[in-house]
Structures are given as C-alpha cells and as structure tokens.
A and B are shown apart, each in its own frame.
Chain A
C-alpha cells in the first residue's frame, strides 16, 4: 500500500498562475482533507470531503477549490495564485470522518513569487 500520495512534491508559481495539487489514497478511506502548514500556525484545514460526492469548506478556503473525483482522489486547485498561498500543503484521509485517525501524505511545498 502506498498510503496517501501527493503530486507534485515541489512547485514554484508566479502570481496569478493556476495549478492543481493531486492527492490519492489506496486505503479505501471515506474521508479526505486538505491542510496547509505555515510556520508557527500549525495545520489549518482548507477543505474536506466527508464522503465521496461531498465537499465542505474548512477554516481557510478562500482562494481554493476542490474536487472529489472519486473515492480515491481529492484535488486542490488554486485558480489565481497569490504570495500568501506560499505554504506546505498536506492531503490526509481517514476511514470515517468521526474519531478516526488521519493518514497524511508527504506534502507539496508551494512557492508563489
């Protein structure tokens, strides 16, 4: 099992460019999440998908969109990147949304110039 995989590992964008971060899990988990990690701020939830076919906003959704493509895949899109979106992005999944531990991918380090 690969667990949770993310692509790309690194990305540099110019302000205004768009990109999609890909995430896939092979654990047959129902719930998936996107977080960003910034120094001194811990992890903040951007969007989540409690189950296939549903998505909801987290704590910091502005500037992002998501797609739960199927049970395995959950993508995060930046339509017009801004320097404030420079961060490390983590995808995670859990078997169920309630009281289950989350499994994290290795992260994508994004720099917006």
Chain B
C-alpha cells in the first residue's frame, strides 16, 4: 500500500527567502505525485503534479517540485516566499497503474513572516 510522509508539521520562513516543504513517499512501482494547498476554511487547491518526464515540475503561484526517485522524495520549493503563501500544504501519491486512490500526507503548515 502506498504512503506519504511529511516530516515537518510546520515550516517557518521569512518573506523573500526560499522555502522547501518536504515529502517522501512509498509506492509499488512508479508514482503519480501531487501537491495541494489549503487556505483557512477552504477546500484543497491543486498546485502541481509529477506524472512522468522531467524531474522538475513547475506549478501554480511560482511553486515547483523536484521528483527524486532514488530518495523517493518530492519536495515542494519556491525561490522567494510571500506572506500570502502561508497555508497548509499536502503531498499525495498514487501508483501509476490503472485507477488507484490518492493517499495524502498529514500536511505541513507554512508560515511566512513579513
């Protein structure tokens, strides 16, 4: 069965600094990987996904993520954080064979200070 680990409950970063939100996964075979963001009292919004191809995936709002197969990681990054990036971030994984359910991590709260 697949699983996702987000080892940090919270990440603090100053505005303008680069940010990284970590995600590691376990899945049989090759993965589909996703990042979602949740703002307070809202549903999740899709940020980006890795299906195949280039290991560096670019997504919405200037975010990107790097797929590393040997380390089974898919860390979310942004070169320069904004206060408005403060939110809850979820990593999710599914195997890439047929219909497979997404499994979500427990989420990482990102706080960007002015």
Contacts and interface: CB of A to CB of B under 8 A. Distances in A.
Interface of A: 4, 40-45, 48, 50, 58-59, 90, 92, 97-99, 101-107
B34 A101 contact: yes
Count class of interface residues, chain B? 20 to 34
Interface in B70-101: 90, 94, 96, 98-101
Contact of B43 (A40, A45, A48, A106): A106
B51 interface: yes
B102 interface: yes
7 cross-chain pairs, A with B, having the tightest CB-CB distances, nearest first: A104-B43, A101-B46, A97-B99, A42-B104, A42-B106, A43-B104, A104-B44
B43 A101 contact: no
The secondary structure that dominates the A interface is: loop
The secondary structure that dominates the B interface is: loop
A103 to B, nearest CB: 7
Contacts, number: 50
| Most chain A beta-carbon contacts within 10 A, residue among B4, B90, B107 | B107
B101 A101 contact: no
A41 B102 contact: no
B44 A43 contact: yes
A50 B99 contact: yes
A58 B101 contact: yes
A99 B45 contact: no
Interface string B26-48: 00000010101000011111100
Given A42-B105, A99-B32, A104 B99 contact: no
A98 B43 contact: no
